[in-house]
Every structure is written in C-alpha cells, then in structure tokens.
Chain A
Amino acid sequence: MMKLQYQHVHKAFGEKTVLDGIDLNVGVGGAIALIGASGSGKSTLLRCTNLLEPIDDGAILLDGDDITEPGRDADPIRRRIGMVFQSFNLFPHMNVLSNVTLSPRKVLGKSKAEANDAAMAMLTRFGLADKAGDYPDRLSGGQQQRVAIVRALQMNPEVMLLDEITSALDPELVGEVLNVVRDLRADGMTMIIATHEMSFAREIADTVCFLKNGVIAEQGPPQQIFSAPTHPDTRDFLARVIASGRL
C-alpha cells in the first residue's frame, strides 16, 4: 500500500532545473530520509509535496490520487500533510496555545474548548504544557521546533514532512527534537525527513535517498547507503560529511 508516489516530478525556478525527474514510492508507515548537498532540492521536493510550490511536470499521488492536478484546491490536501520547516515559523504574535489551535479551529471547525483540550494533551505529552501561555520568542529553538511539530500534528496529518528541523539548533537542543520524531516513528507515522544528521537518518529511516542534480542518484536501506554506497557521488558526499565530522 503506497501512501505517496512521485512520478517523474520536474520543477524549475526560471532557467534553473531543481527537480529533474524524481521517482519515489513511500509506503504507509514508511520513513524516508532525504540526504544531499545544500541546494540539491530537498526542501523543494518537500514544498512541492505540500503544494506550496507547483510542479512543472510529472505527478505526486497521495493514496493513489493525483494531488498535483492543475487547478485542484490545495487546502483540503494540505490538511492531510503536515510540514515542519527548517527555520521556525511559529506565529510570533500568538502564544503557543493559539499557534497550535489556530488551524484546528479555523480549518476543522473545532470549538475552542475542544481544540484547547487536544492541544494541551499533546503539549503535555511532549513536555511543553508549562509553555502554553508563552510567546514563541520566549522559547528555546528546541522548544519552538517541538511546538511546530505539535502544531502540525493537531491537524491529524497522514504524512509528516520534516525539513531539516534540527539544522538551525544548537547541538545540545537537537536531541529533544529528535526524540519527538522517534515518538512519531513509533506511532507509525509516515514521514519524509530532509536531514544533515546522518546518524539520525541511519537510525530512523527505512529508506535513504541521495539527491544529486535533481534526481535520486541512489536509494536503499540505510545500512547499504551508509556502509556500501554504490554510486560514486554518494561515496563522495558521505566522505565529505565524514570529513566535516557530521557522521
């Protein structure tokens, strides 16, 4: 059973082709790690999946249904796909609870009490209950990212897209955010994770995809990609990552 299918996905910004025919299947409950150099198109692929960017050619299917059909209303689809971004984009003018309950109330039409209860339950689960009344700028980066994850989860998404959610964090804050992702994984959430944390990719993913020149140059289980990469570019990339001490 496939949750997401990418079929020859193309995307260019002006003259610059960023995705040049991406083919990928993501099973229900699967966890894909996207790795690749900066600028290789990881964020673009995730933004296209959430329909924040339109693709130029090819198709993306959610439960076998083409969500990239031109002219299709994006909002109902976005509800089913949660996304967390690299730089924190909590709403700075709202406290944590309002950040987390805005879309359940406005999009799902939940009552305030209902939305608050659900939000508090999840904030408590991730150790954020005492931050509910705080504004985002009072939180540490790690707390902000955990709130962003909770905010996305409040929509009960079927898929989570995580775009380098730890790369803007101080090293000592990375762990608390990754723990939340481990939790999601244990719950069987389908996820696509763009990351520079190779050890985390190795631990959490069932499939690792290496992006280069707009295509998936190599994909396979983490043991294979990290221990015995077959593509020379993958070997190169991993060698550079190791040299910079990030593996």
Chain B
Amino acid sequence: MHGADAEQASAPSRSAPGRRAEFERAQRRRSTLLATASTAVLLGLIIWQVPKLSGWQRVRKSFFDRKTFSDAFDPVLHAFWLDVKIFLVCAPLIILFGMLIALSRSVRSPLLFPLRMAATLYVDIVRGVPIILWLYLIGFGGAGLMNVREVGFGPIKIGTYLFLGGVALVVTYSAYVAEVFRAGIEGVHESQRSGARSLGLSTWHTNRHVVLPQAVRRVIPPLMNDFISLQKDVALVSVLGPIEALRRADVLQDKLFNFTPFVVAAVLFLCVSIPLTRTADYLLAKERRTMSGTAVR
C-alpha cells in the first residue's frame, strides 16, 4: 500500500499539473459561490429582521443618527489627529527602549548583572499593573510631583498631561515590546550561534550579522500586534484630560444627548487598525511560509 503510494507520487506524469490546476479551479469556484451565498443569506436575514426588533428604532436614533454623525465627524476627526500624533511620537521611542531593555536582559557579563536585574524587575513590575493605572500614576502623580506645566521646547511641554500621558505609554509599552524582542533573540536556534562561532566570528559579529537580523525578522509580526494595541490605547491618554478623539466624542455626547459621536470615533479607529491588522496577518503568513517551505492546507 505504502509502496504503491510512493511510486505514484514520484512517477513523472505530464498530465498531472494540468488536471490538478483544473480541479483546483473548480474547487475555488465552488468555494466562492458557497461563501457568497451564505454571506448574502445572513445579510438578508439581518436587514430583514433587525429593524423589526422592538428596541431597534431607539438604538438607531441614539447610535446611528445621520445628522449627528455628520455634525460630529469634523471635530472628532480633528481630535483624532492628536491620537495619530501621540502614536507617531511614542512608537519609535518604544522600539528604541524596548530593544535596549531586551538587550539588557540578555547580557551575561557578571559586571553588568545589576543592569540585567534592573531590566528584569522593570519588565515584571510594569507588566504586572494595568496600563490605565500607570496613566493615573504617572499622569496625575507626575503632574503633582513636577508642578511645572510650560517648561520645554517647541510644542513639547514637560509637565503637561499630554506629555505625561505619552511618557506613561512609552514606559508601559516598552516593557511589553522588550519581551517580544527577547523572545525573538532567544528564538534564534543555538546551532546558528555555534555555526558562527565555529568560523571564528566574535560574539559581537555573531550578534550583529547572524542573530539580530534573524531575530528582527521573526519579531516583526508580533511587534505589529503590539502596535495595533498601542494605536487604540493612545485613547487612554484622555483620562488625563487631553482632547483627543474619545474625549471629544465624550464632550459632544454630553452636549447632544446622543451616542453617535462615539460611533464616529470608533469608525476612525477602525480606519487605522483594520489595515494594520491585515498587514500584520499578511506578514505573519509570509513568515510562516518562508520558515516551513510550503503551507499545508
């Protein structure tokens, strides 16, 4: 039985690729058809049934009000720009500090033991407390401690709640990102290190040319996931007061007695996070393909 299978598999057959392609085409056609049909039926059911639900009109009025949506869109979009700016400033700093913390945790020199211990402690403590609590601690605590508001350069004012909120995000996310980097470094197989060292390459050259390039490659997809979370968590800064999208929506909601502004904010966050998520998935799938040759269906 087994022998026959092997023979068949290895027998060079000219017609096989053509037949196979045809079969797969038919298979794909069938799948597309099925998927379209089931989606259409489900959508139809929702459109047909949901408006009949007793609370629907009220939900529609307070969450999906067209007029409120267009009135709220501009101010919320404007405030959303602040979320984007916080993200763009914090993300590179988080990568930098995350990498430094990860490297500190990997040092083996006894001289640097305190550094390693401090980094480990830092990661444990930061990750053990909810992010929002860190925002309160660093934001309100920091503001009380520094008692300065306007010192700084350009638009960056040390002591403002916005600045402290950014600090809190960098402090917390660096710890999470450091763990991702560390996993990437440790995930590079020991045989790669042996291979490099056996050629006489120094520790530094081994890290620089063999270990880190492979670690960074592996780390990109999980890192993307952390930054998708960050992109949403910038809204947490609003607990300290800065008027970003969530805060603006909250204010509008108070004024208009309508929840639609929150939906506007949600839509804006989705506009950024969905493309990011898709990219991360794509990178992850690509990584898996290159690591294991071909994907098994």
Contact = CB atoms under 8 A, between A and B. Distances in A.
A185 interface: no
Given A75-B202, A93-B213, A102-B209, A52 B197 contact: yes
A56 B293 CA distance: 41
Contacts of B202: 75, 107
Residue of B197, B198, B293 with highest tally of chain A CB at under 10 A:
B198
Interface size class on chain A is: 20 to 34
Given A93-B213, A93-B217, A106 B201 contact: yes
A103 B191 contact: no
Interface in A11-41: none
Contacts, number: 64
A151 B195 CA distance: 10
Contacts of A47: 194
A234 B59 CA distance: 85
A106 B205 contact: yes
B277 interface: no
A91 B214 CA distance: 9
A78 B210 contact: no
A171 interface: no
Interface of A: 47, 50, 52, 74-76, 78-79, 81-83, 85, 87, 89-93, 102-103, 106-107, 137, 151-152, 155
B194 A137 contact: no
A88 to B, nearest CB: 9
A172 B203 CA distance: 37
Given A89-B191, A102-B199, 18 more contacts: A47-B194, A52-B194, A78-B197, A83-B198, A85-B191, A85-B195, A89-B189, A89-B192, A89-B195, A90-B195, A91-B195, A91-B196, A91-B209, A93-B217, A106-B205, A137-B290, A152-B199, A155-B199
Given A93-B213, A93-B214, A93-B217, A103 B194 contact: no
Contacts of A137: 290, 293
Nearest to A78: B200
B86 to A, nearest CB: 34
Contacts of B290: 137
Contacts of A52: 194, 197-198
Given A89-B192, A91-B192, A103 B197 contact: no
A206 B188 CA distance: 38
A168 to B, nearest CB: 12
Contacts of B214: 91-93
A155 B200 CA distance: 9
Given A85-B191, A89-B191, A107 B197 contact: no
- 5 shortest A-B CB distances, which residue pairs? A89-B195, A79-B200, A103-B199, A83-B198, A78-B200
Contact of A89 (B194, B201, B293): B194
Most buried by B among A47, A93, A137, A155: A93
A103 B195 contact: no
A203 B115 CA distance: 55
Nearest to B191: A89
A85 B192 CA distance: 11
Given A91-B210, A93-B217, A137-B290, A107 B195 contact: no
Contacts of A91: 192, 195-196, 209-210, 214
B191 A87 contact: yes
B108 to A, nearest CB: 14
A180 to B, nearest CB: 18
A107 B191 contact: no
Contacts of B195: 85, 89-91
Nearest to A47: B194
Contacts of A74: 197
Greatest chain A CB density within 10 A among B189, B200, B205, B209 is at B200
Contacts of B293: 137
B192 A107 contact: no
Interface string B59-97: 000000000000000000000000000000000000000
A103 B196 CA distance: 8
Nearest to A86: B191
Contacts of B205: 106-107
Contact of B198 (A50, A76, A102): A50
Nearest to B217: A93
17 contacts: A47-B194, A75-B197, A75-B201, A76-B200, A79-B199, A85-B191, A85-B194, A89-B192, A89-B195, A90-B195, A91-B192, A91-B210, A93-B217, A106-B201, A107-B201, A137-B290, A152-B198
Interface in B166-200: 189, 191-192, 194-200
